[in-house]
Chains A and B, each alone.
Chain A
């Protein structure tokens, strides 16, 4: 009784503090309200990405077009021409560019979040703001880049339609926004997850850039899943556990009608993406508190 009374007094006298700094890290203490308060800064970061991208370049935004155009031409030459890999009857330009646009978005989101600490250590070492602002801004500025490249894809697509090529364009296209969100979440999640390791152990960086380029070949970017199914069915599982596979196949299916689209498989991909995203978020949140000590 007496004790209760005392604690009552204590709580009523408790003062209101704006910031409490401790080392006790609860697992789920991401402050989303604070993040929302910093939305101006997210926009500022997006703007900064573009400003610093343009600075001291002559062609400026044109670079956003040059990269996919040339890579597509290269793919058409190497994989379509020399290696003779089939594209399931879809014009090569459309097939490769569609795959590339998606892959680029994922890998940009990934590297952006993976490099958050190393490329921002200057500013992170000087001032506090929610560190999540940076990878989120990265996803948004990459979204703009995706928009530009996607319109390039559409232009090529429409060009082929005008040329009389018939595509099995279908309602799956309504899933495209979801696919984009999934790619962003996957890139962000895995990037943040791996960033927590690469800060301290730099050799992982080599592994990561190497792994990323390998991952592209384990994702149906430059070949359709059906080819692999036909020629090397024993390796199909590698692609099937890769959550990106469903995203890319669905994307291609939506525009061309060929490809492997299955709700079940998309659901699998969605679950894996969500898990990786939340896991990445939690790990990032824990790591960002002390990373300045080890970088």
Chain B
């Protein structure tokens, strides 16, 4: 017998968009009529995939589509994705708050969930009453709750308020209490949606620690949705990336994060030149290539020694410039700068007319595996910017590895590796 505790098979969820009114009524009648004649639901076939930025013409949308994966016992699965990717919908279906339109999910063991901000508390009842209520909602007996009560209150840190109605709690306190109850239920599977965001740093750390305990020392399974990449990285053992309602990537946490982060900037266009934010009036840029391509996504291969930069265009005035590139992590942390004009104080003069700027930037020998974002500028230091293209392209670094070695990860080990002095 395998250790699979959750088996998600081809799950889809269709939602209706817009407001409910007479239109809904006609859909309902249609559906009912089809059912009466023993036909299939006529609306199952239509509906767009869920890209919230594009306007579709259907009233229906697939918030989830063709989701299939398995979760083994003891896995801590991080589910990441953009706003509206379907993460909460998936967790809602798992917690049986709503049901899937298609597909099957099979679960082994007791599942406790903490969905979104604000938990299933009744505002008029005190914290104590709500703990008992919530406990029994999640299937605990009164005795079990009694045994755990002090621990829960202690973990939540709301001892002073247990006999006050929860409507007087701050939102962080609610989440603390909700998390404390869910985590102390000893469920076989704990499902946590983006809720920790409301808690303060101390509590977030405590909660992540608790989930780690739950998974590691007790061998339980955790499904965790968060936009906090650091929390996902430190907590999870597996990652699932959702995009427009579909599984976009599945794998180890660093790989999932890298995949997600590489694609997450929706404002970035496909071509570098389209990411230029501003140019000086006298300047017309016709082509930009970085790392040998016009595309905003490219790869730095294992052992690659340099990066090419090419800028072509015309200028109607003489130009005094320097090329500057800033390499950053996805979170915007600067890693390195290429700016000879700054270091050496030498600028390039070019007469009016067509120009071609070419640079070959040497790379450190040992690069780690990860994502590098590039800001590109043409400027006269301390005087003016002639071209600004922040975040214009993404370089995916394969990482240096040789022989029996293996590449290291940027997020844990920094941008580059050091060597012995020779």
Q: Specify which chain A residues have a CB less than 8 angstroms from the CB of B25 in the assembled complex.
A: 201
Task: Please determine whether A17 and B136 come into contact, CB atoms closer than 8 angstroms.
Answer: no
Is A2 located at the chain interface by the 8 A CB criterion? no
Is A127 located at the chain interface by the 8 A CB criterion? yes
Q: Which of B104-140 contact A (CB under 8 A)?
A: 104-111, 113, 115-116, 118-122, 124-125, 129, 132-134, 136-139
Task: Please determine whether B105 and A21 come into contact, CB atoms closer than 8 angstroms.
Answer: yes
CB distance from B202 to the nearest CB of A (A): 24
Task: Please determine whether A292 and B98 come into contact, CB atoms closer than 8 angstroms.
Answer: yes
Task: Please determine whether A15 and B119 come into contact, CB atoms closer than 8 angstroms.
Answer: no
- Contact A20:B105 (CB < 8 A) given known A48-B122, A48-B125, A55-B165: yes
Q: Specify which chain B residues have a CB less than 8 angstroms from the CB of A125 in the assembled complex.
A: 97, 115
Q: Which of A13-38 contact B (CB under 8 A)?
A: 15-23, 37-38
Bound complex: CA of A55 vs CA of B7, how far in Å?
45
Across the interface, name the chain B residue whose C-beta is closest to A295. Answer: B20
Across the interface, name the chain B residue whose C-beta is closest to A123. Answer: B120
Contact among A15, A19, A44 with B96 in the assembled complex (CB-CB below 8 Å): A19
- Contact A128:B97 (CB < 8 A) given known A48-B122, A122-B120: yes
CB distance from B97 to the nearest CB of A (A): 6
Is B99 located at the chain interface by the 8 A CB criterion? yes
Digit string of B367-397 for contact with A (CB within 8 Å is 1, else 0)? 0000000000000000000000000000000
- Contact A44:B132 (CB < 8 A) given known A21-B93, A21-B100, A128-B97: yes
- Contact A128:B95 (CB < 8 A) given known A40-B136, A44-B132: yes
Task: Please determine whether A126 and B133 come into contact, CB atoms closer than 8 angstroms.
Answer: no
Q: Which of B23-43 contact A (CB under 8 A)?
A: 24-25, 28
Contact among A21, A52, A200 with B99 in the assembled complex (CB-CB below 8 Å): A21
Digit string of A120-153 for contact with B (CB within 8 Å is 1, else 0)? 0011111111000000000000000000000000
Contact among B2, B16, B107 with A19 in the assembled complex (CB-CB below 8 Å): B107
Q: Specify which chain A residues have a CB less than 8 angstroms from the CB of B7 in the assembled complex.
A: 17
Bound complex: CA of A23 vs CA of B28, how far in Å?
17
Task: Please determine whether A22 and B120 come into contact, CB atoms closer than 8 angstroms.
Answer: no
Contact among B95, B106, B124 with A51 in the assembled complex (CB-CB below 8 Å): B124
- Contact A123:B122 (CB < 8 A) given known A21-B93, A48-B129: yes
Q: Which of B51-104 contact A (CB under 8 A)?
A: 92-104
Task: Please determine whether B97 and A15 come into contact, CB atoms closer than 8 angstroms.
Answer: no
> Which of A15, A17, A129, A289 lies at the interface centre, i.e. has the most chain B CB atoms within 10 A of its CB?
A17
Across the interface, name the chain A residue whose C-beta is closest to B13. Answer: A293
Task: Please determine whether B24 and A40 come into contact, CB atoms closer than 8 angstroms.
Answer: no
On chain A, the number of residues with a Cβ less than 8 Å from chain B's Cβ atoms is 33
Across the interface, name the chain A residue whose C-beta is closest to B105. Answer: A21
Across the interface, name the chain B residue whose C-beta is closest to A197. Answer: B28
Digit string of A41-65 for contact with B (CB within 8 Å is 1, else 0)? 1001000100110010000000000
Is A174 located at the chain interface by the 8 A CB criterion? no
Is A290 located at the chain interface by the 8 A CB criterion? yes
Task: Please determine whether A15 and B15 come into contact, CB atoms closer than 8 angstroms.
Answer: no
Q: Specify which chain B residues have a CB less than 8 angstroms from the CB of A201 in the assembled complex.
A: 20, 24-25
Across the interface, name the chain A residue whose C-beta is closest to B122. Answer: A48
Instruction: Kindly count the residue-residue contacts between A and B in the assembled complex, taking CB atoms under 8 Å apart.
Output: 115
Is A294 located at the chain interface by the 8 A CB criterion? yes
Is B301 located at the chain interface by the 8 A CB criterion? no
CB distance from B181 to the nearest CB of A (A): 10
Across the interface, name the chain B residue whose C-beta is closest to A56. Answer: B124
Bound complex: CA of A16 vs CA of B106, how far in Å?
9
Task: Please determine whether B104 and A15 come into contact, CB atoms closer than 8 angstroms.
Answer: no
CB distance from B347 to the nearest CB of A (A): 62
Task: Please determine whether B122 and A126 come into contact, CB atoms closer than 8 angstroms.
Answer: no
Q: Specify which chain B residues have a CB less than 8 angstroms from the CB of A37 in the assembled complex.
A: 139
Across the interface, name the chain A residue whose C-beta is closest to B63. Answer: A293
Task: Please determine whether B109 and A18 come into contact, CB atoms closer than 8 angstroms.
Answer: yes
CB distance from A159 to the nearest CB of B (A): 37
CB distance from A53 to the nearest CB of B (A): 10
Task: Please determine whether B96 and A21 come into contact, CB atoms closer than 8 angstroms.
Answer: yes
9 closest A-B pairs by CB: A128-B96, A126-B120, A19-B107, A21-B105, A17-B106, A123-B120, A289-B99, A52-B124, A41-B136
Q: What would 12 A/B residue contacts be, using CB atoms closer than 8 Å?
A: A16-B108, A17-B106, A19-B96, A21-B107, A22-B103, A23-B99, A40-B141, A44-B133, A48-B133, A122-B118, A127-B97, A289-B98
20 more contacts with CB within 8 A, not counting A21-B100, A126-B119, are A15-B108, A18-B109, A19-B96, A21-B107, A22-B99, A22-B104, A23-B103, A38-B139, A44-B132, A122-B118, A122-B120, A123-B122, A126-B113, A126-B115, A127-B113, A127-B120, A128-B96, A129-B137, A201-B24, A290-B99
